[in-house]
Amino acid sequence: MDRRSFIKKGGLACGALTLPDGLPFFINEQDDKYKKIPLIDTHLHLWDLNHLDYPWLQNPENPLSRNFLLADYQDATAGLPIEKMVFVECARDPAQYLQEVDWVKGIQEKAPRISGMVAYFPLEKGVSGTKEMEVMGERKIVKGIRKAFMPGHQGFMAGIKLLGQFNWSYDLNIRTKDLPAAFEFAKSNPNLVIILDHIANPAIGDNDWEVWKNAISPFSSLQNVSCKISGMLTKTDLNVGSIEQMKPYFNTVLEVFGIDRVLFGGDWPVLLRAASYQEWIKDFYILTQDLTLNEKKKLYYRNATSIYRL
């Protein structure tokens, strides 16, 4: 199925792709050691529209406006060596942030592969939100916070300063135009572990590589910032080969952050806007085929273990 047909079908067909002998498509059967490299998916979304409210999923025409539960993820990733997952908040109603944490905790009790969570918290409350943060801190599943970037906002900056008390990281979800402000933010918070989501969401299909590269390159000097290799397929032109579009961005991320500061993420089910999980894994393995075994181990799972403290 080509990607255009996948979009027309709403992105709901996502069975495993296999070779005739049953081996997953990405396995080199002549190189047995690569069969044993696990993956940690550092960017998993799940939602139950009957349990929490998601303002961005109110449009019934949106193919994502349905439940996406753990069983769906298991079907989408069938045959893949995913050892652990990190759940990332799903933009539910802001007031329901603690309910989302407890909902994920309930899933984790039945599915311990969910090893951590990046939760939402209204950081703009600053020090006035300390007690609420302490309540969330009782939920040991929480490893970090994702909240819309608000550079210059006094309350937000005060809230950011509190994250260290809980040993929480900060997932930074921005676009290319925000990178200069994000660099200054990260530079001024050297003790904060920052994970840049989706390589800063470049417009890959519009070939903004040069502008994006110039904006992201300064991060090479900031050891507290890592980069999540995720969300790339959804930014490509679906009518053009994905590898050719993504490779310059992938190579730049490795040049800027180095092999010790990169992580793999699935971004499922948002990924379904462009492709199935299996298609993303196939592209990801092709992009990483020239890495050494040790480099693959770092990108596939070791960095995630240390950065998210799994």
Supply the CATH number for residue 219's domain: 3.20.20.140
* 230 conformational bin, left if phi > 0, alpha if psi -120 to 50, beta if neither: beta
Band of pLDDT at residue 31, cut at 50, 70 and 90: low
Contacts of 20 (CB under 8 A, 6+ apart): none
What is the percent of the chain where pLDDT is above 70?
89
184 domain-assigned: yes
Q: What is the mean pLDDT of the chain?
A: 91
25 domain-assigned: no
The pLDDT value given to residue 34: 54
95 domain-assigned: yes
The pLDDT value given to residue 36: 74
pLDDT digits (tens, 9 = 90+) for 179-213: 999 999 999 999 999 999 999 999 999 999 999 99
How many Cα atoms within 13 Å fall on the side-chain side of residue 64? 18
pLDDT digits (tens, 9 = 90+) for 251-291: 999 999 999 999 999 999 999 999 999 999 999 999 999 99
31 domain-assigned: no
Query: Which residue range(s) make up the domain with 168?
Result: 36-307
CA pair distance 237, 4, nearest whole angstrom: 10
Beta strands 194-196; 169-172: pairing state: parallel
248 domain-assigned: yes
3 domain-assigned: no
17 domain-assigned: no
pLDDT digits (tens, 9 = 90+) for 132-189: 999 999 999 999 999 999 999 999 999 999 999 999 999 999 999 999 999 999 999 9
Q: Give the three-state DSSP class for 174.
A: coil
Please determine, for residue 29, whether its predicted confidence score (pLDDT) is greater than 50.
Answer: no
Domain total in the chain = 1
The amino acid present at 193, given as its one-letter code, is V
23 domain-assigned: no
